[in-house]
Structure 1
Amino acid sequence: MGQAMPQATLRPFLPTDTPILAAIFVASIAELTGDDYSETQQAAWASAAEDEAAFGKRLAGQLTLIASMNSSPIGFVSLRGADHIDLLYVHPSAVLRGVAAMLCDALEKLAGARGAKTLTVDVSDNAQEFFLKRGYIATRRNTITLGEEWLANTTMQKTLGEASPPV
């Protein structure tokens, strides 16, 4: 009989988490988005974590939750304002293990408890299916500029309190 996988746990962001979360951010972009974005687009996107102090300040200024396994962070999600998911990243080695769903479940509940009626998120092309399965609908297509690069993403929205479709 195989050994059971340890369960991921959630906790709030601490400033000392910044270097590992920056590494998760960069690894996730590098290893999970290559089918949808060029290497130069990925590099421009990942550059948001190069200034760790600024990246940490961004995370600290939002409601940021961390998923950990064996006390090591494996993913994170942040809520900007009352109703916008700013960042959702999971380390590539932890993808498809329910970590992103656990992070989103918790953030959706917290946002709802704080009075949000809807949540929006600007979703990379590779993450659209995940959010569609959670009941988010596409509301507009965006083109953003990062340095010299242009990247496309999609704004999606979910009405809170509605059950997510079965996965």
Structure 2
Amino acid sequence: MIKIRKYQHCDARALWQLKQQTIRRINSRDYSLTQVRAWAPDEIDPAIWQKRVDGMNPFIALIGDKIVGFADLQADGYIDHFFCHADHQSVGVGRALMQQILTQADNQNIARLYSAVSLTAKPFYQHFGFQVVKQQQVETRGETLTNFIMERRL
């Protein structure tokens, strides 16, 4: 059973590890090794990540006591991060997080959700009614990655 709870300050390290491992193990299907290493480097500044994730205030998905995913919704409808643990793909974690986002958006009267979505996540977002607004190339630590601005009108 998947539970969703609010973010806690002490979750930051586990969220970075989940993000890094998901990018390296799952997104590596669609991106090169050098792109993946740039996107999810070996070393990050923990203080910078802590500040970023504190500001995102994501929803945390749990199976038992284990964090298996996280996603956020910003006040303007932007989804900055949406990651499901590499070992817990296709078991409903993403669906549970997206349902939480949709509920939160409804509660906050947000009319439009949007995100910069990876090649890997594009089909997932399309399944939930998001449409591609544009394809773009973004530079991350010297590597160029393709992603998509996708949106869903509510």
TM range (shorter): over 0.9
Aligned to 2:91: 97
2:77 is the alignment partner of 1:83: yes
2:101 alignment partner AA:
L
Cα 1:48/1:156, change in 2 over 3 Å: farther
Deviation per residue, 1:95-154 (Å, 9 max, x gap): 000101110110121022112101001110011110111000000011111111011100
2:66 is the alignment partner of 1:69: no
2:3 alignment partner AA:
T
Contact 1:26–1:49 (CA under 8 A) maintained in structure 2: no
Q: Gaps (5+ residues) in structure 1?
A: 1-6, 161-167
**Structure ranking higher on relative contact order (CA contacts 8 Å, 6+ apart):** 2
Structure with larger Rg: 1
Structure 1-normalised TM-score?
A: 0.88
Aligned to 2:123: 129
Count of aligned pairs: 154
Aligned to 1:59: 53
Q: Gaps (5+ residues) in structure 2?
A: none
1:86 aligned counterpart, secondary structure: coil
Counterpart-to-counterpart distance in 2, 1:80 and 1:155: 15
Aligned to 1:165: none
Structure 1's consecutive aligned runs of 4 or more residues displaced over 3 angstroms after TM superposition are none
What is the RMSD of the two structures over their aligned residues, measured on CA atoms? 1.4
